[in-house]
Structure 1
Amino acid sequence: MCKRIVILGAGESGVGAALLAQKRGCEVFVSDKAFIKESFKDELQGHGIAFEQGQHSLDKILCADQVVKSPGIPDRVPVIIALKEKGIPVISEIEFAAQYTDAKFVAISGSNGKTTTTLLIYHILTGAGLDVGLAGNIGQSLARQIALDAPKEWYVLELSSFQLDGMYDFKADIAVLLNITPDHLDRYDYEMQNYIDSKFRIVQNQTKDDYFIYCLDDENILRELEVRDIKAQQLPFSNKVEVSDGAFFQDNKIVFNLKEDAMSVFIEQLAIQGQHNRYNTMAAGIVARLFQIRKPSIRECLLSFKGVEHRLEKVLKVRGMSFINDSKATNVNSSWYALESMGTKVIWIAGGVDKGNDYAEIKELAKEKVKALVCLGTDNKKLLENFKGIVPTIVEVSSMAEAVKSAYYLGDKGDAILLSPACASFDLFENYEERGRMFKECVRNL
């Protein structure tokens, strides 16, 4: 099966795939158009794996039997077009790694809430003593873990649409689809259906013995279910209606009901609050019930979970103002949930690389809650056009330090200063993590 494998991209997933390919006896070559981080370079050199950086040498790439592509590389770049024209299979690291394990998978996707739900499921399963690993769009790559660690019985995987695009034979034993709202449309020819199709790849290859957990309140998911033949057993969750098998919200509590065996948790007891986290908790709780984990153990884990860095993370209170880091909010829907969860007036820091954003859904909420908007980005034109006349005060800044100081001076005691960009970070920052860390650092320096 394994001959010459070329890895495009030398980040965590690429280096992990290279280590696994080498362990399986493949000839391996790693190519990265950018410069490789020293730690990854040292690892490749230490294992004697050939690589290049700062270029893609087509003569070394187009002789591959199979190519494993970083999810960050779009399909329309010249090297991918050349590979497809030659008929060379291009797959994701998850697809590649899954070929070399008998483990089962809980796979989680959605436009928002993936990381929180993935970590919550992992928290519950490990809390119950199950043999489980964590991979995908979070932590160490699946390929690295399969190459270097003792194999796990189960892996909990956070999967982005970009990872799903490169997956063909992979099967999720339990698939979770949280929501589908406009995101990354720049990668999908600005066609929403293309993005929806990408998300629904999470159920491909599932059988009647598998499970599909999804949000019954999401219109895009419901529309697709009407035209798709889903073979897996369906377990919906809803904030609006009671469901017979799945989870729902009623009388200030979440009810998990599987095979007429119910348990419930009052929402005020949950460690993570907000409507979006209600959905995340429902999905995670259904998964836990499928594993037949004891109800007291599930409840204890739901109450002890600490949440995710850069997702509605409380940083500090300064002069009575609460600073909240929601840098992970890289699309409009995610920022909608952040604003919805605020109980006070908000100074909103937003902006970055627009991914085809439609701000219509958030305007009413912004009018109600936002007293000032701080636009942080190299091109704020779309934000200015959409919120002029809706938000009383709008300012433009070009650095995080400037954004934090402006928000501080615009706020009053009792206000929330919320970094929830609704955009990607790549104009001013390496990624959303760097953006969030810099926000926290600037707040501490006030």
Structure 2
Amino acid sequence: MNKKVVILGAGESGTGAALLAKTKGYHVFVSDSAQIKEKFKTELDKIQVEWEEGSHTWDKVLSADLIIKSPGIPDTAPIIEASITKAIPVISEIEFAGRFSDAKMICITGSNGKTTTTSLLYHIFKQAGKNVGVAGNIGASLARQVATVEHDYYIVELSSFQLDNMYDFKADIAILLNITPDHLDRYEYKMGNYIDAKFRIIQNQTPKDHFIYWVDDAIISKQVEQREIIAQCNPFSLEYPSYTTADQTNIKVDNGSFIVKREHLKLLGTHNLLNAMAATTAAQLSGLTVEQIEQGMESFEGVEHRLEYVTTIDQITYINDSKATNVDSCYYALQAMHKPTVLILGGKDKGNNYDEISQLVKDKCVGLVFMGIDNSKLQSYFKDFGIPISDTCSIEDAVKAAKALAPKDSIVLLSPCCASFDLFSSYENRGELFKQTINKL
């Protein structure tokens, strides 16, 4: 095979794709418009893959037979538009990796809860002794794993950006957790485009496959009624077709039902109960026993930066929810708070509408700390709530202000509602700095 593959973006996804393409006999060229991390340069050199950084050499890119692009690169990028004009196929790393694996693919998407659900499901499978890998936005890329160590199952977290460039890939079990406005700047500010992207998770499914979805989500339930879905549908709900009491949830699937006791789930909040219902439904459909599922749930400690307990100092509890990059995530975080809360929010606004959290803010918050380069939208929206507000532009000042506003026996919650890229390199960076700052108090 002498076909030329060009990979745009040299992060974990791109480098993993380069490794897989190289092992499959492709001629590989990697191009990144930004600087490439040293560890990826070293790896690309080791496998003798040519790379460039800081810009794209258009002639080299446009000589490709196939382009694999980073999810962060939009289709409107000039290099992608030129590739499409030349009829060069442009696909995602997940799409490419799926062409070389016969493993069962359990795929999770949704506006919120993807990482928690993916991590919980992977943990359940791992604890049950299954030969399983986790990929997508977590851990090693799917392409890297397919190239180096084949698993029987993959639990794959998929963003809408990844789904955009997937065409032949098929999920054996597809999970759609919820759909709320997010990343609309990437979808021409059209909600319909974003919904279509999320529903790509069920493309290519057969009658033998399964589609697990939250039936109480108004957008999802309407779309399910309107779309022709070939896979077996397995809705989950706090009401119908499951029933929930104070201490247990009954999950119904096509071959019966099973009970999950709340005592086996350590995670906070109603949203995490829903995440657990989705994960346990997928586990049950994959043949795991109730005992294996409960053991996995009981030993799962949660996901870093997602309602993560940091510490308690002077009767003030600090919680890191830096992964809450949209309003819906913050809604669920506030819903889980059962003490007076000082909320730290702000960052790069993605067209947020704060109406969704307004009542929770009024009911639960005793202080608001805005943390961003431009907090004017937050100031304008929350100024008349009658809640003390502090305006900051650094993590150190935000933590100091939150501590000053927090009474005894209260919570300081970092749940920003916004992307991190005004002050931080990533939500992980924001969360780590938050924890480091608190631990210096």
Normalising to structure 2: TM-score of the pair? 0.98
Match of 1:383 among 378, 395, 413: 378
Aligned partners of 1:260 and 1:78: how far apart in 2? 50
1:116 corresponds in structure 2 to 116
**Quick check: 1:135–1:142 contact (8 Å CA) kept in 2?**
yes
1:179 corresponds in structure 2 to 178
**Quick check: 1:2–1:24 contact (8 Å CA) kept in 2?**
no
Which stretch shows the higher mean deviation, 114-123 or 290-299?
A: 290-299
Match of 1:334 among 329, 333, 342: 329
Is 2:438 the counterpart of 1:443? Answer: yes
Structure 2 matches for 1:157-236, cutoff 5 A? 157-236=156-235
Is 2:271 the counterpart of 1:276? Answer: yes
Is 2:373 the counterpart of 1:373? Answer: no
Q: 1:125 to 1:269 in 2, by over 3 A?
A: closer
Q: CA deviation at 1:270?
A: 1.4
Q: What code does the residue aligned with 2:200 have?
A: R
Aligned partners of 2:309 and 2:75: how far apart in 1? 37
Is 2:409 the counterpart of 1:414? Answer: yes
1:405 corresponds in structure 2 to 400
1:21 corresponds in structure 2 to 21
Q: Kindly report the root-mean-square deviation, in angstroms, between the aligned alpha carbons of the 2 structures.
A: 1.2
Q: 1:251 to 1:312 in 2, by over 3 A?
A: closer
**Quick check: 1:353–1:424 contact (8 Å CA) kept in 2?**
yes
Q: CA deviation at 1:125?
A: 1.2
**Quick check: 1:177–1:215 contact (8 Å CA) kept in 2?**
yes
2:295 corresponds in structure 1 to 300
1:9 corresponds in structure 2 to 9
**Quick check: 2:116–2:275 contact (8 Å CA) kept in 1?**
yes
2:62 corresponds in structure 1 to 62
Q: What code does the residue aligned with 1:330 have?
A: T
Aligned residue for 2:213, secondary structure, equals strand
Match of 1:434 among 426, 429, 435: 429
Aligned partners of 1:196 and 1:2: how far apart in 2? 38
Aligned residue for 1:63, secondary structure, equals coil
Q: CA deviation at 1:265?
A: 2.7
**Quick check: 2:234–2:254 contact (8 Å CA) kept in 1?**
no
Q: CA deviation at 1:195?
A: 0.6
1:343 corresponds in structure 2 to 338
Unaligned runs of 5+ in 2: none
Q: What code does the residue aligned with 2:74 have?
A: P
How far does the alpha carbon of each residue in 1:3-34 deviate from its partner, in whole angstroms, 9 at most, with x for none?
Answer: 10000000000000001111111111100011
Q: CA deviation at 1:258?
A: 2.8
Which stretch shows the higher mean deviation, 73-82 or 383-392?
A: 383-392
How far does the alpha carbon of each residue in 1:137-189 deviate from its partner, in whole angstroms, 9 at most, with x for none?
Answer: 1100000111122x111111000000000100000000000000111111111
How far does the alpha carbon of each residue in 1:316-359 deviate from its partner, in whole angstroms, 9 at most, with x for none?
Answer: 10110000000000000000000000001111110111111111
Q: What code does the residue aligned with 1:32 have?
A: D
Q: What code does the residue aligned with 2:314 have?
A: R
Q: CA deviation at 1:292?
A: 2.1
Is 2:122 the counterpart of 1:127? Answer: no
Q: What code does the residue aligned with 1:292 have?
A: G
**Quick check: 1:248–1:282 contact (8 Å CA) kept in 2?**
no
Which stretch shows the higher mean deviation, 271-280 or 431-440?
A: 271-280
Aligned partners of 1:334 and 1:355: how far apart in 2? 13
2:87 corresponds in structure 1 to 87
1:358 corresponds in structure 2 to 353
**Quick check: 1:372–1:391 contact (8 Å CA) kept in 2?**
no
Q: CA deviation at 1:384?
A: 1.4
Q: What code does the residue aligned with 2:308 have?
A: E
1:262 corresponds in structure 2 to 257
Q: 1:86 to 1:248 in 2, by over 3 A?
A: farther
Q: CA deviation at 1:260?
A: 6.0
Which stretch shows the higher mean deviation, 92-101 or 249-258?
A: 249-258
**Quick check: 1:242–1:249 contact (8 Å CA) kept in 2?**
no
Which stretch shows the higher mean deviation, 170-179 or 300-309?
A: 300-309
Q: CA deviation at 1:252?
A: 3.4
1:50 corresponds in structure 2 to 50
Q: CA deviation at 1:255?
A: 0.9
Q: Percent identity?
A: 54
Aligned partners of 1:375 and 1:242: how far apart in 2? 39
Aligned residue for 1:279, secondary structure, equals helix
1:33 corresponds in structure 2 to 33
Aligned partners of 1:292 and 1:16: how far apart in 2? 30
Q: CA deviation at 1:248?
A: 4.1
Count of equivalent residues: 441
